[in-house]
Each structure stands twice: as C-alpha cells, then as structure tokens.
Amino acid sequence: MDTKANKNLRRFSRTAATFAAVASSVVLINGSIAQTSESDKRKYPSLTIDGFNYTDVAIDYFSVDGSGGGLLLVSTETSGGGGGACCFRLYPLIALKSPIEIKWSRYINGKYRWCRKTVMMTGPIPDDPTDLGVHFMPDGNIVVQASHWFPDIKLALKRFNAAKRKESGNVIHDEEVATCSDTQ
C-alpha cells in the first residue's frame, strides 16, 4: 500500500532525476545559459589547452576561463614549455567575439604573484579544431588561437634553463599588461 510519504518520495525522485538530466546538459556562456546536446558537442568541441611560454621566466600555473592549463616552463627552440590540459569549450559562432580570461602565477622573490588579463581569440578557426594554443609572448601580450592538432610554436628561442631564459637580466612584463596581485 502506498503511503503519502512514499508517493512524495517517488515524485521528488522523478523531479530530482529530471533536474539532474537538464543540469548536465546546460553550460554557461558569458553568463548566459545554453543547452548542449550530443550533436552540439560536435558543433562545440572541447579543446585541449596547450600553453607556450616565450617570456623570460617560468609560469607556475595558468588557466583559460577557469580551466587549468598547468605549469609552463620557459620555451626552447623546439618546445613551448608546457603540455596539454583539459579543456576549453569552443563556440565557433561567438569565439572570435567573446573575451577570454587568462590567469597565471609566477613565483618571484619568494612569493607567488597572480595576474589576469582578458584577451580575444585570433582567427581563423579551423573546421575541425582540437586544441587551443595560449602563447605568452616576450612583450607580455597573450595570443589565443584554435588549431587542428597541436599548435605550432610561434617563436624558437634559446633558454638558460627551464626556469629562466637568460642567466641574468630576465624581464617580466606582467605588471605592464595585466592586473596583478599577491592573492589569487
């Protein structure tokens, strides 16, 4: 025999299951809610984030719109300094018009310094993008570009070691081009 409590529990379970199904297919795009289906996942691919550090000092951590990119050593003539991390959802129709927030930190003078900068993706976007290249340039600019397969290195530079470009006289432009502080 069904009691009122059992009926309410079943009703709640169905409501919770429906909510969970809807919530799992909803993502936020610049503060707006958008629904994604399986076919949308092909239209809106999830790209591997690949970091490239052409600056003079290693980057201890970076992220793209909140998705972690990881550690970026100083690049070499054949390597960008980092590996791939998951993931950045690409919405091709708005990608070149939507700001992207890049955050990063460096360990300098015995403390972490956190910086953030909003940039725009550069085009064109390939038909079948798989990766998002985030290039920290020597002058402090950050270039973000989608590619099919692993992005090409933009600058082939020599380095002193994995942590710094030169033995001495390394320059960091973070404070000139971004908002930086001692806290995350």
pLDDT digits (tens, 9 = 90+) for 63-106: 999 998 889 999 999 999 988 898 999 988 888 999 999 999 99
Tell me whether residue 5 is exposed, middle or buried, using C-beta atoms within 10 angstroms of its C-beta: 0 to 12, 13 to 18, 19 or more.
exposed
Q: Using 50, 70 and 90 to split pLDDT, how confident is the model at 40?
A: low
Residue 171: predicted pLDDT: 95
Query: Strand pairing of 59-64 and 99-108?
Result: antiparallel
**Strand ranges (DSSP E) for the chain?**
26-29, 32-35, 46-53, 59-64, 67-72, 81-89, 99-108, 111-122, 131-136, 142-147, 179-181
Are 45 and 129 a contacting pair, CB within 8 Å?
yes
Question: Position 156: which residue type?
Answer: A
pLDDT, tens digit (0-9, with 9 covering 90-100), for 130-152: 999 999 999 999 999 999 999 99
Question: What does the pLDDT average to over 165-177?
Answer: 96
Domain ranges of the chain: 4-35, 45-181
| 85 in Cβ contact with 69 (< 8 Å) | yes
